[in-house]
């Protein structure tokens, strides 16, 4: 796996140039110069001001080495030394860090013929049990760098070098930097750096301390572009903290009437990719100057329309869902729009591939127990005891057997420490291996008591052979008195303890408590137990939900008789609507909502079928799940998962009683509903338009998690090239897209409009249409109120001012962008999701009190504000 693209072969060997004036805070950095001796050494690299320390405190294996003097020229000092790993398949660095935090991890390799073999090795790099990347040196290059952005799942990080053949892994430097939680957000997985460039004509790379997060920015230019530069101050304070030097330069097309293009090819064509583009207007705009462009990729696919970089303000655009391209090629094109007087521009670009970590770590408790066992018995000779004890399976620790349940962490079921020179007492750490079935401590020099905790290890079936070795005075080191609780288990035959005396045969006084069993017999038992164990876990964890397992719709069909049973003859009414009545029901101990369609229903048979077809095909966390349906003569019913807290409308109006939905809750509901809708638009084949997005169709479960409901009107919409499908205009007055109403041409942007109305309701808690108001329709009313005064005029007074002003502004801007009369100018749902996530981030930041927010104090109706990363107040 190697990554490169056409305009850049990652240049690796770094030589710092920027003279730094003032060192930024690097207290949270970990910067290791591997192989640096002695272990206490700490020094500051002059070219970057980064403080390096020896790696010896983070690893207990490997050999230190130095590269050839001839190769040191122009290299920073951390590349002069290295650590190599001739022994063991896997060797790991261990870091104590913070779970759920996002880190930038950089590893650098510079061979420098340190071993005089002049043979460039190949090996793999792992993060915990998962492969990160392969390291090799294509084209005989001596150096190679790897970078990734990763959110830790546990309080520790292991970076491992893994042999893949005969050659010896080595590493020169390992660097870890925390990143802002709200940046580089993915739907799933970590990000591997493909490229990070800025558009400078000078061949200077940028890293710390120009970049406070120590990302490395490589210069790029080609003959189609020219670089422009400003000496003015550029405000780079959005979450991404693009360095000032990077922000001050930008690329524009050489021929101003041509588009700006950026092309690259991912070497791994199946990769999912995230692209981050950083923009700031650095040209001193005259009064009539407009710089506006459409960003498209791969032959006209929309990435971002009508973009206007902000004057001397850094903004970041990115795709909230991973993209891929069938051949790994990406051709981006930035085209001036009709009103633009200036050519397109870009300041910096980052490209990442998604890496999904599929292999689960062994549970933290078991890992720490094993690490403590390793430390307390000083088991340094066990070269395989590095990294995760169980995972990946082919690298599990010697003497360990693990079970690998489906979709769950591996667990240690057998530990064989025979002949391992264990001395001292039996450590209570063994008790933390709760899934242990067998434990072999034979042929060691253990002393002390036989601990009672063995009796509490429920699954333990066999403890094999404590050595009853006698010391010089003839006393056994191990006190062979067996605790009562353990005796009981022995008597119940639920545990086998075999005490033996292997070293000194002369003693005959050893009590025989072992239940004699041939070795073969023990093994047969263990195999059976292991099978039972695995099967039991499978059954317990197996999928039960009918709804989630993709069954065909006919499997969901039930009779009217069953409907009567489920609802106990329609005992409890949950709600009524134009379509009929919704009843409470119970199906196989699961609560459900049963919607009976009345004969006079507005929702006809066609809508009923449409909904059944859609929901039995489409499953998503934020779409209400169909549990079953009834199509039995005249009786039509839809059976949904039960949504305990009713619909959003009831909750906003206070009809259900209960507390006012907080700002945070409202945003979460908005983001979840938006994700459901976004899935209909982009995740389904063919894409779907809901056509009836409104607050009564957003349902809330017991945790106030939101799901979109009512797919009776949902249609697939024509994609490019298809002929236009004309359907009768449908929807709910007030939410209905006026453009769709007028032109009768259906697109996903109609849903965006309706969603915008929903957002306005979430913000204002006003009815959509109210004849008694100064303006009847909520949109007109909101615009009027905003022009009259400030934000507080429209935000729901029930919130009592408890919301983040920046986030609220952003949300208002977003809502107004969604309801733009021209569908072209509305954002896509993908961008809406991205924006809402950022509002959430602001609210969370406010709740944590970590950021000081102030009102921006102006309204900006332009769409371009709708999907940018908004600035961070510092």
Ligand X SMILES: *[C@@H]1O[C@H](CO)[C@@H](O)[C@H](O)[C@H]1NC(C)=O
Q: Which is nearer to ligand X, 416 or 553 (CB)?
A: 416
Taking CB under 6 A as the criterion, the residue among 187, 284, 302, 727 binding ligand X is: 302
Question: Interface with ligand X includes 337 (CB under 6 A)?
Answer: yes
Q: Which is nearer to ligand X, 780 or 824 (CB)?
A: 824
Taking CB under 6 A as the criterion, the residue among 22, 27, 96, 569 binding ligand X is: 96
Question: Interface with ligand X includes 438 (CB under 6 A)?
Answer: yes
CA distance 729 to 740: 7
User: CB-side exposure of 800: number of CA atoms within 13 Å?
Assistant: 4
Question: Interface with ligand X includes 440 (CB under 6 A)?
Answer: yes
- Residues contacting ligand X: total by CB under 6 A: 39
Question: Per the omega criterion (within 30 degrees of 0), is the bond before 411 cis?
Answer: no
- 374 belongs to an annotated ligand binding site: no
Taking CB under 6 A as the criterion, the residue among 335, 379, 564, 783 binding ligand X is: 335
Taking CB under 6 A as the criterion, the residue among 77, 181, 230, 601 binding ligand X is: 181
Stretch that binds ligand X, among 35-43, 251-259, 355-363, 685-693 (CB under 6 A): 251-259
Which of the 8 DSSP states describes residue 493? Answer: T
Which of the 8 DSSP states describes residue 490? Answer: H
How far, in Å, are 108, 187, 305, 590 from residue 725 at the CA level?
A: 56, 33, 25, 40
Taking CB under 6 A as the criterion, the residue among 230, 364, 384, 418 binding ligand X is: 418
Q: Which is nearer to ligand X, 148 or 436 (CB)?
A: 436
Taking CB under 6 A as the criterion, the residue among 24, 47, 167, 258 binding ligand X is: 258
Q: Which is nearer to ligand X, 224 or 716 (CB)?
A: 224
Residue 401 CB, nearest approach to ligand X (Å): 8
Residue 333 CB, nearest approach to ligand X (Å): 7
Q: Which is nearer to ligand X, 263 or 553 (CB)?
A: 263
| Residues in a beta bridge with 623 | 708
Q: Which is nearer to ligand X, 375 or 545 (CB)?
A: 375
760 burial (CB, 10 Å; 0-12 / 13-18 / 19+) is: buried
Residues contacting 809, CB < 8 A, separation 6+: 791, 855, 856, 859
Sign of the alpha-carbon dihedral angle for 573, 551, 556, 681: positive
How far, in Å, are 664, 699, 740, 759, 787 from residue 803 at the CA level?
A: 8, 23, 34, 15, 21
Question: Interface with ligand X includes 830 (CB under 6 A)?
Answer: no
Question: Interface with ligand X includes 507 (CB under 6 A)?
Answer: no
Residue 464 CB, nearest approach to ligand X (Å): 5
Contact (CB, 8 A) for 592 and 642 = yes
CA distance 495 to 461: 5
Question: Interface with ligand X includes 255 (CB under 6 A)?
Answer: yes
What is the radius of gyration, based on Cα positions, of the chain?
32
Taking CB under 6 A as the criterion, the residue among 481, 494, 726, 855 binding ligand X is: 481
Residue 482 CB, nearest approach to ligand X (Å): 9
Token pair, residue 218, equals 């490589």
Stretch that binds ligand X, among 201-209, 253-261, 504-512, 557-565 (CB under 6 A): 253-261
Question: Interface with ligand X includes 237 (CB under 6 A)?
Answer: yes
613 is catalytic: no
CA distance 607 to 34: 66
533 burial (CB, 10 Å; 0-12 / 13-18 / 19+) is: middle
Which residue's entry shows tokens 């945070």?
A: 664
Angle, in degrees to the nearest 10, between helices 805-818 and 749-764:
140
Residue 8 CB, nearest approach to ligand X (Å): 12
Taking CB under 6 A as the criterion, the residue among 77, 164, 331, 682 binding ligand X is: 331
What DSSP string describes 582-624? Answer: EEEEEETTEEEEEEEEPTT-SS-HHHHHHHHHHHHH---TTBP
Contact (CB, 8 A) for 737 and 725 = no
Taking CB under 6 A as the criterion, the residue among 22, 27, 188, 257 binding ligand X is: 257
Q: According to CB under 6 A, which residues from 520 to 579 bind ligand X?
A: none
Residue 846 CB, nearest approach to ligand X (Å): 13
Q: Which is nearer to ligand X, 302 or 726 (CB)?
A: 302
Q: According to CB under 6 A, which residues from 793 to 812 bind ligand X?
A: none
Q: 780, 761, 551, 585: which is closest to 673 by C-alpha?
A: 761
Residue 390 CB, nearest approach to ligand X (Å): 17
H-run or E-run covering 751: helix 749-764
How far, in Å, are 132, 152, 480 from residue 128 at the CA level?
A: 9, 10, 40
Q: Which is nearer to ligand X, 504 or 538 (CB)?
A: 504
Site string for ligand X, 128-147 (x = CB under 6 A): --------------x-----
Q: How many CB atoms lie within 10 A of CB 476?
A: 19
For the CA atoms of 471, 473, 476, 478, what is the dihedral angle to 10 degrees? -70
CA distance 808 to 670: 13
Q: Which is nearer to ligand X, 232 or 544 (CB)?
A: 232
Question: Interface with ligand X includes 265 (CB under 6 A)?
Answer: no
Contact (CB, 8 A) for 12 and 143 = yes
| Residues in a beta bridge with 329 | 265
Residue 407 CB, nearest approach to ligand X (Å): 21
Residue 133 CB, nearest approach to ligand X (Å): 21
Q: Name the catalytic one among 115, 440, 692, 751.
A: 692
Binding footprint of ligand X on the chain (CB under 6 A) = 57-58, 68, 70-71, 96, 100-101, 113, 142, 181, 222, 224, 235, 237, 255, 257-258, 261, 263, 294, 302, 305, 331, 335, 337-339, 416, 418, 438, 440, 449, 464, 479, 481, 824, 871, 873
Positions marked active-site: 692
Residue stretches of the annotated binding site = 595
- Residue positions in the annotated binding site for ATP? 595
């Amino acid at each position: 796996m190697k990554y490169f693209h056409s305009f850049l072969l990652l240049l690796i060997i770094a030589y710092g140039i920027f003279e730094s004036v003032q060192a930024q805070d690097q207290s949270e950095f970990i910067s290791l110069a591997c192989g640096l001796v002695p272990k206490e050494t700490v020094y500051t690299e002059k070219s970057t001001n980064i403080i390096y320390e020896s790696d010896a405190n983070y690893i207990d294996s490997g050999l230190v080495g130095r590269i050839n003097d001839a190769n040191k020229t122009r290299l920073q000092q951390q590349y002069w030394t290295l650590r190599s790993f001739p022994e063991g398949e896997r060797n790991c660095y261990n870091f104590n860090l913070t779970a759920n935090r996002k880190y930038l991890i950089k590893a650098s390799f510079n061979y420098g013929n340190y071993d005089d073999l002049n043979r460039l090795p190949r090996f793999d790099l792992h993060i915990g049990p998962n492969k990160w990347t392969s390291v090799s040196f294509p084209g005989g290059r001596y150096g190679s760098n790897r970078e990734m952005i990763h959110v830790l799942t546990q309080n520790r990080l292991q970076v491992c070098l893994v042999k893949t053949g005969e050659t010896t892994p080595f590493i020169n430097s390992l660097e870890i930097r925390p990143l802002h939680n709200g940046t580089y957000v993915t739907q799933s997985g970590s990000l591997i750096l493909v490229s990070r460039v800025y558009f400078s004509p000078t061949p200077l790379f940028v890293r710390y301390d120009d970049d406070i997060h120590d990302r490395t920015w490589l210069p790029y230019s080609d003959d189609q572009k020219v670089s422009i530069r400003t000496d003015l101050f550029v405000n780079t304070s959005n979450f991404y903290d693009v360095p000032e030097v990077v922000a001050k330069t930008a690329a524009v097309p050489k021929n101003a009437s041509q588009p700006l293009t950026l092309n690259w090819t991912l070497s791994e064509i199946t990769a999912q990719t995230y692209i981050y583009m950083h923009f700031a207007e650095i040209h001193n705009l005259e009064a009539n100057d407009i710089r506006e462009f459409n960003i498209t990729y791969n032959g006209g696919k929309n990435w971002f329309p009508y973009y206007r970089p902000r004057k001397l303000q850094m903004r970041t655009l990115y795709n909230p869902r991973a993209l891929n391209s069938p051949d790994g090629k990406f051709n981006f094109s930035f085209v001036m729009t009709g009103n633009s007087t200036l050519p397109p521009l870009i300041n910096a670009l980052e490209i990442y591939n998604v890496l999904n970590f599929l292999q689960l770590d062994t549970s933290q408790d078991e890992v720490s127990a094993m690490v403590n066992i390793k430390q307390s018995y000083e088991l340094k000779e066990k070269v395989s005891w590095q990294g995760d004890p169980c995972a990946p399976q082919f690298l599990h620790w010697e003497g360990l057997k693990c079970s690998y349940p489906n979709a769950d962490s591996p667990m240690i079921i057998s530990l064989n420490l025979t002949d391992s020179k264990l001395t001292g007492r039996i450590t209570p750490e063994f008790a933390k291996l709760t899934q242990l079935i067998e434990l072999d401590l034979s042929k060691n020099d253990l002393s002390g008591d036989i601990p009672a905790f063995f009796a509490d290890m429920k699954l333990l079936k066999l403890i094999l052979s404590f050595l009853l070795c006698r010391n010089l005075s003839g006393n056994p080191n191990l006190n062979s008195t067996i605790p009562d609780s353990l005796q009981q288990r022995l008597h119940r035959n639920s545990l086998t303890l075999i005490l033996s005396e292997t070293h000194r045969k002369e003693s005959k006084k050893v009590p025989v408590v072992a239940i004699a069993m041939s070795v073969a017999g023990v093994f047969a038992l263990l195999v059976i137990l292991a099978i039972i164990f695995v099967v039991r876990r499978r059954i317990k964890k197996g999928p039960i939900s009918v709804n989630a397992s993709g069954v065909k719709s006919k499997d969901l069909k039930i009779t009217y008789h069953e409907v009567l049973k489920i609802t106990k003859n329609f005992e409890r009414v949950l709600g009524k609507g134009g379509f009929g009545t919704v009843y409470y029901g119970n199906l196989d101990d699961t609560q459900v909502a049963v919607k009976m369609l009345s004969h006079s229903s507005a929702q006809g048979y066609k809508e009923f079928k449409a909904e059944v077809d859609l929901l039995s095909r489409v499953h998503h966390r934020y779409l209400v799940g169909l549990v079953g349906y009834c199509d039995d003569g005249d009786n039509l019913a839809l059976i949904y998962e039960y949504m305990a807290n009713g619909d959003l409308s009831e909750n906003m109006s206070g009809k259900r009683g209960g507390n006012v939905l907080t700002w945070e809750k409202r945003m979460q509901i908005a983001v979840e509903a938006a994700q459901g809708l976004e899935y209909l638009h982009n995740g389904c084949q063919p894409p779907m338009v809901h056509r009836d997005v409104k607050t009564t169709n957003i349902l809330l479960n017991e945790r106030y998690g939101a799901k979109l409901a009512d797919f009776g009107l949902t249609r697939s919409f024509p994609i490019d090239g298809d002929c236009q499908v004309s359907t009768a205009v449908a929807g709910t007055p007030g939410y209905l897209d006026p453009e769709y109403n007028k032109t009768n041409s259906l697109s996903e942007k109609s849903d965006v409009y309706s969603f915008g109305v929903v957002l306005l309701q979430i913000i204002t808690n006003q009815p959509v249409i109210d004849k008694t108001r100064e303006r009847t329709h909520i949109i007109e009313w909101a615009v009027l109120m905003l022009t009259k005064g400030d934000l507080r005029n429209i935000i729901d007074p029930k919130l009592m001012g408890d919301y983040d002003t920046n986030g609220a502004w952003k949300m208002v801007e977003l809502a107004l962008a969604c309801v733009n009369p021209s569908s072209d100018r509305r954002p896509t749902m993908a961008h809406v999701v991205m924006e809402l996530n950022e509002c959430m981030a602001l609210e969370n930041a406010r709740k944590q009190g970590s950021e000081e927010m102030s009102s921006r104090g102006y309204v900006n109706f332009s769409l371009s504000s709708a999907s940018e990363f908004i600035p961070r107040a510092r």
